[in-house]
Structure 1
Amino acid sequence: MENLALIESFSEFKDDKLIDRVTLMAILEEVFRNALKKKFGSDDNFDIIINPDKGDLEIWRNRIVVADGEVEDDNQEISLSEARKIEPDFEVGEDVSEEVKLIDLGRRSILALRQNLISKIHEHDNTTIYKQFKDLVGEIYTAEVHHIRHKAVILLDDEGNEIILPKDKQIPSDFFRKGENVRGIIESVELKGNKPMIIMSRTAPEFLEKLFEQEIPEVFDGLITVKKVVRIPGEKAKVAVDSYDDRIDPVGACVGMKGSRIHGIVRELGNENIDVINFTNNPQLFISRALSPARVTQVSLNDETMHAEVTLKPEEVSKAIGKGGFNIRLAGQLTGYEIDVLREGVEEDVELTEFSDEIESWIIEEFKKIGLDTAKAVLDKDVSDLVQRTDLEEETIKDVMAILRAEFED
């Protein structure tokens, strides 16, 4: 049977992709009906009988018998004399069913039909993969490094699905070798043409949250809730946790004895510094906790502008701001407040931002990065010390100090 070669070529895909019987029959029928439309102009009067288990297929064309010379549509009608070649007792008005062999479609049509069949199989496969990974968005997934490119790492999972880990979704300290397993969250899935593009991320806050679920049993069981996560990937993160059971210390349970529980998470994230904080609905207390390891003396809030002024002892200010300003930035993201730091006991000081008309903002940011955000904090330092600790030229620092001194002399 000339049908068998085509069906057998399909079976390779069927066995490989495990397509269910109903889908298999639907794809086959769609492909053959498209071929019939091209050949005969319509497929309305054709019956297609498929037995995929046996690799068998039959196509039957149904036509009405009309008198000789009265055939207007040779796809829908057959002359009496032609009908009687099939069965000698046919009469005008009767229905005739005649089997169509694949060879009748022509060699070129058969080749096109097979290509269309392969295309439909891949299209179905891609749709299935898209739906599968759409359901996994936000979940942790593991795949193996297949190819390392300049802008992305290409991963393959156990089923051979391609997953992309872009450079900007990698932790800065990430270093991958071909064949090693990589964990991240499925961040997005899009169809590019008919092919699903699956994006993994290791920098998303959700990745850290899901690591807590995987590594800490109380979080997995729902005894501890991760309320919010903020990150500067590879540098620092803050995680607010809460427990509805007063007998459970959420911070202690997450960190473990001497950091034993959180150590694996820190290692997974390239030694990212993780602060675990007790969540509270009291915004003042929450801000105070969020600025850990600094000890806060007082917190004043303006809920309308979501602005907080935090007073600390001078020796605590650098702790509150942190390396590169990371600590205060993450505390603000975690609590939702814009936080300004004030030094306790320092009178008549002025925030550096008040000089933004005279000093460029990027220069002010350079001072803030090393914990100096007021005029007196800068003036208390030696020029040589500031040259070493900032990316500013000595002349620039002297100009700034002159502007600041003029404020107090006035």
Structure 2
Amino acid sequence: MENLALIDSFSEFKDDKLIDRVTLMAILEDVFRNALKKKYGSDDNFDIIINPDKGDMEIWRNRVVVADGEVEDPNSEISLTEARRIEPDFEVGEDVSEEVKLIQLGRRAILALRQNLISKIHEHDNTNLYKQFKDIIGDIYTAEVHHVRPKAVILVDDEGNEIVLPKEKQIPSDFFRKGDNVRGIIENVELKGNKPQIIMSRTSELFLEKLFEQEIPEVADGLITVKKVVRIPGEKAKVAVDSYDDRIDPVGACVGMKGSRIHGIVRELGNENIDVINYTANTQLYISRALSPAKVSSIKLNEENHRADVFLKLEEVSKAIGRGGHNIKLAGLLTGYELDVIREGNAAEDEDVELTEFSDEIDEWIISEFAKIGLDTARSVLNQDVNDLVRRTDLEEETILEVIRILKDEFED
């Protein structure tokens, strides 16, 4: 009965952890042999029989019977008198097998044995866990939110493994509750002491690439290749795709009819705006495509410094730069060139200023009136006929003339 608590403990480990029978028996035998060495100085003459399936074990001590007073090695020899206490018909020279009960090792040794057992099994689990997740770095993985902390979300998979999604690896719009399923890529496995820490990421470019593989059959089958992905997580991304089969339109296949194929990816990434473009080895054409939706007039390359002057018409400049400068930044990252936007044509003609820049001199409600009819820059107002402006807005002619004077002063300066 004294074995039961210990036996229960390793039976419990076998049920909870994915340890095969051979490995479990090897761990148990190693732990018990260490305990025997501490107690008897050697484990050479001990047999350990373990049956983890049934939850039982036996330890047998094997010795040779020698005459009384002639015992030289207590681990390999037993006196005739002591042997006959086990069985009365033993004779000198015979082999004696005596069962050793755990209680004979002492309670302190049993506690140490249990701790050693727990430690060895955890060590085995951690080694296997490290190898398991090291092999799937870069793969998409799904786990459930277990706990939300200020600096990280703690996830748990179906096998009870803990996965960390740090704050900086989350998309800014991500919001998780306990029990939510979360997808990301396994980005890294780090050893913290002896315990592996599994790191998930949703901001990695590789996550977006893997989503393309998962959601678009032609990418999964290798008919379409994702050449490069650049992202500003949660805001905007650009994906360059290519196909070696001329019959396949890689962009069309990735986007799908009315965006049906890419919609799921966009939703997964918190409505991140994804531009899919055709890859080309022609650098000028590649830069031009990368700056979509802007229409580029011409490009002057400096291949030595990896810089490019991009010439655009005035109305295309804001499209090329994009909200917050995201479009031009991502185009540069995608192509590997530092892009300088140059307004095309006569500088004096192209020079313009947003009407909102004049808010110190022109009331906001007046600026708003011009905006209602699509006039939001100084030149767009100056190019209009005064009488036409009076007719199209709720502004007095005197007010319009004053605005024109202010705007003209700006350009004269």
Under a length normalisation based on structure 1, what TM-score does the superposition of the two structures give?
0.80
Match of 2:162 in 1: 162
Distance 1:9 1:278 in 2: 60
Structure 2 residue 342 is matched with structure 1 residue 342? yes
Distance 1:209 1:286 in 2: 19
Match of 2:241 in 1: 241
Distance 2:300 2:75 in 1: 86
3-state SS, counterpart of residue 74 of structure 1: coil
Letter in 2 for 1:207: F
Match of 2:185 in 1: 185
Distance 1:336 1:321 in 2: 16
3-state SS, counterpart of residue 111 of structure 1: helix
Match of 1:41 in 2: 41
3-state SS, counterpart of residue 353 of structure 2: coil
Alpha-carbon distance, 1:300 to partner: 2.5
Alignment of 1:8-407 (within 5 A): 8-63=8-63, 69=69, 71=71, 73-79=73-79, 81-83=81-83, 85-86=85-86, 89-91=90-92, 96-346=96-346, 380-381=352-353, 385=357
3-state SS, counterpart of residue 124 of structure 1: helix
- 53-62 or 192-201, which moves further after superposition? 53-62
Structure number, greater radius of gyration: 2
Distance 1:90 1:387 in 2: 115
Q: RMSD in angstroms over aligned alpha carbons? A: 2.7
Alpha-carbon distance, 1:166 to partner: 0.9
Deviations 1:128-148 (A, max 9, x none): 222222222111111122211
Alpha-carbon distance, 1:162 to partner: 1.5
- 115-124 or 335-344, which moves further after superposition? 115-124
The question of whether the paired residues in 1 share the 8 Å contact of 2:144 and 2:182 is answered with yes
Q: 1:45 to 1:295 in 2, by over 3 A?
A: same
Alpha-carbon distance, 1:170 to partner: 0.7
- 73-82 or 170-179, which moves further after superposition? 73-82
Distance 2:304 2:42 in 1: 69
Q: 1:382 to 1:132 in 2, by over 3 A?
A: closer
3-state SS, counterpart of residue 285 of structure 1: helix
Distance 1:77 1:299 in 2: 94
Alpha-carbon distance, 1:223 to partner: 1.3
Distance 2:359 2:197 in 1: 48
Q: 1:6 to 1:384 in 2, by over 3 A?
A: closer
Q: 1:382 to 1:326 in 2, by over 3 A?
A: closer
Alpha-carbon distance, 1:47 to partner: 2.3
3-state SS, counterpart of residue 297 of structure 2: strand
Distance 1:55 1:32 in 2: 15
Distance 2:266 2:259 in 1: 10
Letter in 1 for 2:19: I
3-state SS, counterpart of residue 53 of structure 2: coil
Letter in 1 for 2:43: D
3-state SS, counterpart of residue 261 of structure 1: helix
Match of 2:377 in 1: none
Deviations 1:52-85 (A, max 9, x none): 2332322233446666556555335545554565
3-state SS, counterpart of residue 104 of structure 2: helix
Q: 1:70 to 1:282 in 2, by over 3 A?
A: farther
Q: 1:44 to 1:333 in 2, by over 3 A?
A: farther
Q: 1:262 to 1:383 in 2, by over 3 A?
A: closer
Letter in 2 for 1:231: R
Deviations 1:325-384 (A, max 9, x none): 11111111111122222222246x9xxxxxxxxxxxxxxxxxxxxxxxxxx98x743796
Distance 2:38 2:110 in 1: 12
Distance 2:128 2:354 in 1: 65
Q: 1:299 to 1:64 in 2, by over 3 A?
A: farther
Alpha-carbon distance, 1:118 to partner: 2.5
Distance 2:67 2:25 in 1: 37
Distance 1:200 1:237 in 2: 20
Under a length normalisation based on structure 2, what TM-score does the superposition of the two structures give?
0.79
Alpha-carbon distance, 1:28 to partner: 0.7
Letter in 1 for 2:324: G
Distance 1:387 1:147 in 2: 49
Q: 1:304 to 1:43 in 2, by over 3 A?
A: farther
Alpha-carbon distance, 1:29 to partner: 0.6
Letter in 2 for 1:213: E
Alpha-carbon distance, 1:246 to partner: 0.7
